[in-house]
């Protein structure tokens, strides 16, 4: 029996509420297949830990996490701890330390999910965002000079390395080639006259190695407009760290809401664990009420199953989400329902169980 070792960082706010439900679903999947099991180890890191210990994680936290096959993360950040500390010392630290340079965020309108757009065909919203996840605008390089004085100066530098830019663009081309889809690059070379001119140049260079992949390139402002006005233009999309952050929240709004949007932080070389999480935050405004939508976290569990090579189970979970949405009976308030976080996950588990018993899933 294979044991998949998962580090669980439930984190803050609604993080623990949604992670508990994702774990229930993963355990259900493992119950179906006798060849593997999940072995979850819980880390109490986050803002509460910070208020007790003055740090977001153990000093050797990164070392401890190295031993795991994957990390399952809820959300980080809570009023009382400055966001730039809580996020830089935990979430971003993990992404960077483990060179999780690919952030995969599907923007796909599942059947039954509601879009914020009007007069759009469901099939027209089916994008795969590949966000650079290790450098760019999130390099953390900068300074704050003469702090508090009249002449204070703040510098926040973007870093686009040849290696970092090329590898994310190449990863995106490989994905588009494998999936037989177009690839769109989103940048901003007209204003960011070094970093994004370089990005566009690397995109052109790598493009020459993939004559079979049809490409497009947009400025980020126009891309934001076109995602709303003509979403079918976008299939596989590659973009920088900050643009990817912003556009995937926009993507969430057109593909069922922030409670449904999932993300995988991948180290493709598998030298380090990859990390799976919903893209939303700790939602302090609804935390503690048991009404957070667990579907994004459950979708990210489906991404984890795919990553482990259990694609048939990844699909099983995603299809269960879709069936739940089509039924439209058991939904949290953000989706205009009246159900609780755990009722949604329980219904997902029932759907999985009935799919398996009626199909006798071939495994
Ligand atoms: P947020 O995503 O937490 O919330 C934005 C809005 O979406 C809120 O109205 C919230 O109630 C709603 N929402 C989010 N997740 C939901 C869910 N599962 N079900 C139903 N509604 C949901 O973003 P924010 O308010 O800008 O940030 C709150 C905190 O989270 C901040 O500290 C921020 O830095 C942090 N944050 C963390 C992550 C992460 O850990 N990956 C991501 C984004 C923001
Ligand atoms: C996300 C989040 C993070 C990001 C924050 C919390 C640092 O917004 O995962 O989308 O900007 O990457
Ligand atoms: Mn974000």
Give the phi and the psi of residue 208 in degrees, each rounded to 5. Answer: -60, -25
Domain count, the chain: 2
Q: Which of 92, 129, 244 to mutate to test the pocket of ligand 2 (most atoms within 8 A of CB)?
A: 92
Query: Are 344 and 250 part of one and the same domain?
Result: no
Answer yes or no: are the C-beta atoms of 108 and 127 closer than 8 Å.
yes
Q: Which of 189, 222, 255 is the last residue of a domain?
A: 255
The mean per-residue pLDDT over the stretch 5-24 comes to: 98
What is the Å distance from ligand 2's center to 284 Cα? 15
Query: Are 317 and 352 part of one and the same domain?
Result: yes
**Structural domain that includes position 334:** 1-101+263-363
278-293 pLDDT, tens digit per residue, is 999 999 999 999 999 9
Q: Is 79 in the pocket of ligand 1 (CB under 6 A)?
A: no
The mean per-residue pLDDT over the stretch 223-249 comes to: 98
Alpha helices in the chain (DSSP H): 15-32, 47-53, 61-65, 83-86, 92-97, 162-179, 195-207, 220-229, 241-254, 295-307, 311-327, 341-359
Length of the chain: 363
Query: Are 154 and 286 part of one and the same domain?
Result: no
Partners of residue 39 on adjacent β-strands:
5
Q: Is 105 in the pocket of ligand 1 (CB under 6 A)?
A: no
What is the Å distance from ligand 1's center to 86 Cα? 14
pLDDT at 292: 98
Query: Are 125 and 202 part of one and the same domain?
Result: yes
pLDDT at 120: 95
Q: Which of 93, 103, 256, 282 to mutate to test the pocket of ligand 1 (most atoms within 8 A of CB)?
A: 282
Answer yes or no: are the C-beta atoms of 262 and 237 closer than 8 Å.
no
Number of C-beta neighbours around residue 347 at 10 A? 18
What is the Å distance from ligand 1's center to 9 Cα? 16
Q: What is the CA radius of gyration of the chain?
A: 20
160-195 pLDDT, tens digit per residue, is 999 999 999 999 999 999 999 999 999 999 999 999
**CATH number for position 202:** 3.40.718.10
39-83 pLDDT, tens digit per residue, is 999 999 999 999 999 999 999 999 999 999 999 999 999 999 999
Which residue's CA is minimally distant from atom 30 of ligand 1?
A: 281
What is the Å distance from ligand 3's center to 258 Cα? 10
Query: Are 128 and 87 part of one and the same domain?
Result: no
Which residue's CA is minimally distant from atom 6 of ligand 2?
A: 87
Label the pairing between strands 215-219 and 236-239. Answer: unpaired
Name the residue among 130, 167, 349 with its Cα closest to residue 241.
130
End-to-end CA distance of the chain: 15
For residues 185 and 325, give the distance between their C-alpha atoms in angstroms, rounded to a whole number.
31
Query: Are 362 and 275 part of one and the same domain?
Result: yes
Query: Are 271 and 188 part of one and the same domain?
Result: no
Does 31 score more than 70 pLDDT? Answer: yes
Q: How confident is the model at residue 359 (pLDDT cuts 50, 70, 90)?
A: confident
Q: Which of 204, 222, 255 is the last residue of a domain?
A: 255
Answer yes or no: are the C-beta atoms of 277 and 300 closer than 8 Å.
yes
Name the residue among 132, 125, 119 with its Cα closest to residue 159.
132
pLDDT at 316: 98
Judge whether 106 lies within some domain.
no
Q: Which ligand is nearest to the CA of 83?
A: 1
252-262 pLDDT, tens digit per residue, is 999 999 999 99
């Amino acid at each position: 029996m294979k044991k998949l070792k998962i580090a669980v960082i439930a984190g803050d706010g609604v993080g623990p509420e949604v992670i508990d439900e994702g774990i229930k679903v993963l355990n259900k999947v493992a119950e179906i297949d006798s060849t593997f099991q999940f072995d979850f180890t819980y880390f109490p890191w986050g803002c509460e830990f910070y208020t007790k210990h003055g740090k977001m994680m153990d000093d050797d936290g990164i070392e401890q996490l190295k031993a795991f096959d994957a990390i399952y993360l809820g959300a980080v950040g809570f009023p009382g701890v400055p966001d730039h500390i809580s996020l830089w010392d935990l979430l971003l630290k993990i992404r960077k330390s483990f060179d999780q340079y690919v952030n995969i965020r599907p923007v796909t309108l599942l059947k039954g999910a509601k879009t914020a757009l009007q007069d759009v065909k469901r099939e027209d919203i089916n994008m795969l965002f590949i966000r650079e996840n290790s450098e760019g605008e999130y390099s953390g390089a900068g300074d704050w000079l003469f702090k508090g004085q009249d002449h204070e100066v703040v510098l926040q530098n973007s870093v686009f390395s040849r290696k970092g830019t090329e590898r994310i663009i190449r990863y995106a081309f490989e994905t588009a080639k494998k999936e037989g889809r177009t690839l769109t690059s989103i940048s901003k070379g007209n204003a960011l006259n070094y970093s994004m001119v370089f990005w566009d140049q690397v995109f052109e260079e790598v493009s020459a190695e993939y004559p079979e992949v049809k490409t497009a390139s947009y400025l980020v402002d126009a891309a934001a407009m076109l995602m709303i006005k003509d979403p079918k233009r976008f299939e596989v999309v590659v973009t920088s760290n900050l643009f990817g952050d912003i556009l995937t929240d926009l993507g969430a709004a057109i593909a069922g809401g922030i409670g449904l949007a999932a993300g995988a932080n991948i180290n493709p070389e598998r030298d380090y664990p990859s990390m799976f999480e919903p893209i939303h935050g700790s939602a302090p405004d609804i935390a503690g009420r048991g009404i957070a939508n667990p579907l994004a976290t459950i979708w990210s569990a489906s991404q984890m199953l795919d990553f482990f090579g259990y694609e048939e189970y990844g699909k099983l979970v995603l299809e269960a989400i879709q069936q739940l949405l089509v039924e439209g009976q058991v939904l949290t308030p953000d989706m205009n329902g009246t159900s609780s976080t755990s009722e949604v996950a329980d219904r997902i588990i029932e759907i999985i169980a009935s799919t398996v018993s009626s199909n006798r899933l071939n495994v």
